[in-house]
Amino acid sequence: MVEPRRENAGATPGDGNDVQENILEDWLQEWLQDWMLFVNSNRRDLELAKKILILSPEKLSYVGTRLANLQEMEGLRENAPMEYLSLYASDLGDYRRLRDLQSTLQRLKLLRIAPSVKGADQTLVDLTHFGALHTLELHWCNLEAAPLGLQALHVHLHRLICTGPLPSLHHILVGAGKDVEDAAVWPCLTHLSCQKTGLASMDSSLTLLPVVETLDLSRGNITAIENIQVANPRLPPLTATAA
């Protein structure tokens, strides 16, 4: 599955003065309306893992912002019901589409995040609106800053694929500033692929992968895998690539 194409989309406006920022905001709002219709029309296939949803980090960030606004609005239901009703009535159609989108993303099984143009995208990846992913692909995203919500996916995630610079395996499996001893295991993760990351070594975060079967660290700087069983003595025989 690919993102819906727009005939008049052209190049995404870049950063700059207020006029350019307003153009970008208008472009993203128009894109979101089309994208929500696109997701809704493919909802069943997305929820049944028959299709993969693809987003750029920038558009993922915008979707997250709109869903966060939706949550803030729903928080007014008890504290400020009149204000809530006013906002609800002002754009009923948009409200319903966002609610439907939120529901679909919470059930989504396959997600690929990749820049719209060639090269790494420094936008922070926020996965807090995805709670049931089985497969997650992060290609040339900003992995120097640990993706928000990634550790929360540990319960259901089966496949994690990362491409691009990565500080360490600990960074994605445990999280920055946390200890392995205090981290949750990934009980379903059978496939971990980290290619072109620049990693020079493995680490003890592998102990959090009790059922991993395939570990692909290819096209990086790791030259030996002799320490893999030491790092995780519970690992079964692996299909591992380090060259």
- pLDDT tens for 126-155 read 999 999 999 999 999 998 887 888 999 999
CATH of the structural domain 109-117+125-243, one choice from 3.30.200, 3.80.10, 3.40.50, 1.10.287:
3.80.10
* Lowest-confidence segment of 18-22, 137-141, 165-169, 208-212 by average pLDDT: 18-22
* In the chain, % of residues over pLDDT 90: 45
The domain locations on the chain are 16-44+51-107, 109-117+125-243
User: How far apart are alpha carbons 80 and 122 in whole angstroms?
Assistant: 37
Q: Give mean pLDDT, residues 210-232.
A: 73
Question: Three-state SS for 34?
Answer: helix
- Residue for token digits 């979101």? 32
**Full-model pTM:** 0.82
- Angle between helix 92-107 and helix 57-79 axes, rounded to 10 deg: 120
